[in-house]
Amino acid sequence: MVNFYSVVSARYEVMKDKWKDVKLEIYYNKGHDKNLNRMMDDLKKSLEYYSKSFSPYQFRQMRIMEFPKYASFAQSFANTVPFSEGIGFVLDVKEKDPNIPF
């Protein structure tokens, strides 16, 4: 097993929802809410697709956590995804634009 992990900490706001019996949470900094609804919908679409195509989602929660724009990436851990503010939370995505946060 690789000794690799992520520590993300802030005074977050939290958007909560549910997909089937899985608790969904998006942790974000106040004012960085441009794409939250879109990100939550995309999270549900992803869980639906991957559960059908690969295997049922095995955890009871899924969390996306914003981190500062010192880098532009997202990193997937078992049930937590640290996600750069620059590729989702503060990006001004219009309906006709590619859905970068997705």
Confidence at 16, pLDDT banded by 50, 70, 90: very high
Taking only the tens place, the pLDDT of each residue in 21-70 is 999 999 999 988 888 888 899 999 999 999 999 999 999 999 999 888 77
Res 97: pLDDT: 64
Q: Tokens standing for 44?
A: 């549900």
CATH topology of domain 13-87: Zincin-like (3.30.2010)
Burial class, 68, CB count within 10 angstroms (exposed 0-12 / middle 13-18 / buried 19+) = exposed
Mean pLDDT of 93-98: 66
Res 95: pLDDT: 67
Average per-residue pLDDT in the chain?
A: 85
Rounded to two decimals, what is the model's pTM? Answer: 0.84
Domain boundaries defined on the chain: 13-87
